Amino acid sequence: MTGKERMLKTLRFEEPDRPPHFEIMFELEKEAFGLEFPDRREWDGCSPVEKDRMIGQCMEIYQKIVERYRWDALAVFWPWSDPDGVVAAKRTFGEDILIGSIVGDSIWSIEGITDWMEFAVLLMEEPGEIHRIADGKTRIAIDKIDRLIDAGADFIHLVNDVAFNAGPFISPAQFSEFITPQLKRQVEFIKSKGAIPFVHSDGNIESLLDDYLSLGAACFQSVDPMAGMDIAKTKERCQGKMALMGNVQCNLLQDGPLEAIRKSARYCLENASPGGGYIFGTSNTIFPGMPLAHYEYMLEVFREYTAEIRP
């Protein structure tokens, strides 16, 4: 079974030969391979020749990541939201794995707000302006999505943090008014183009979960255990409606100990994998500073589990 077949099967809530695995970003390439992605600041204003060279550099690293860690999908993160990166990834991997891209700042979200006082005033006194700005974000996002899917993206990952550990950054009622309709437009556009919509938020989104389920998205990524999101309870609410990805606790991958990493990984696998609809992964990304050995230990636990279910 190819990685792409494995991904599609689990997104249909069918059990593949093993749970699929990939990460939204992997930024330990120097530790793992002695190579480095181009600096993110180098992409702006570079010449076409230089861009081609940097994309080739990214593809070399992606190939090593996919081969060593047996990823079943790749969300092209460098270059960011760039059709040329998608074209190169499709050329590199063909139909072996699912290829996607990432689109951020597509709705009102925590990382997109620079002046919280101004936002709070607009939210209470000028809701029409909140809607106007939200419409603009959706138009920009849909333009990016359109070009990425035309370039060959199998899936689009919409990344917007809308919750802290204690809960959403606005009330659930405000979320339903200002955010859910915009996300739904984006998800429906992705589906209308024949691609697969993924959505992301860190934080505790339990009070927003019905809104996320109403979107029609194929998969929700993060399921943040540091914010109290329990993968078993979330899977029970989402099974057959929206697949889940993540939940292996990132602060444990950062700090250890190994036994805690094992416990978190096993909990995810044992509670979310049965019945399909689960992609094994961390609750965020493989970020700089995380010990590479901890990620590789997480995958050792993953291999043990898959050997148990498919001797």
Query: What's the mean pLDDT in 147-173?
Result: 98
Measure the N-to-C terminal CA separation of the chain; round to a whole number of Å. 16
Query: What's the mean pLDDT in 266-293?
Result: 97
Mean pLDDT over the full length of the chain: 97
Question: Which residues, 6+ apart, have CB-to-CB distance to 303 below 8 Å?
Answer: none
Whether pLDDT at 175 is above 80 = yes
Quote the pTM value.
0.97
Domain count for the chain: 1
Percent of the chain whose predicted confidence (pLDDT) is above 70: 100
Question: Domain with 234 in it: what CATH number?
Answer: 3.20.20.210
Token representation of residue 226: 């540091």
Token representation of residue 273: 């994998």
Residue 75 lies in a domain: no
pLDDT tens figures, 263-276: 999 999 999 999 99
pLDDT tens figures, 70-124: 999 999 999 999 999 999 999 999 999 999 999 999 999 999 999 999 999 999 9
Query: What's the maximum distance between 2 C-alpha atoms anywhere in the chain?
Result: 61
* pLDDT confidence bin for 57, thresholds 50/70/90: very high
Residue 85 lies in a domain: no
Residue 191 lies in a domain: yes
Residue 291 lies in a domain: yes
Question: Which residues, 6+ apart, have CB-to-CB distance to 34 below 8 Å?
Answer: none
* pLDDT confidence bin for 311, thresholds 50/70/90: low
| Domain that residue 272 falls in | 3-21+100-309
Residue 217 lies in a domain: yes
Query: What's the mean pLDDT in 151-170?
Result: 98
Residue 133: what pLDDT?
A: 97
Residue 90 lies in a domain: no
Query: What's the mean pLDDT in 297-303?
Result: 98
Q: Which amino acid is at 265?
A: A
Residue 302 lies in a domain: yes
pLDDT tens figures, 26-54: 999 999 999 999 999 999 999 999 999 99
pLDDT tens figures, 220-239: 999 999 999 999 999 999 99
Residue 39 lies in a domain: no
- Please answer whether residues 175 and 208 qualify as being in contact, where contact means their C-beta atoms are separated by less than 8 angstroms: yes
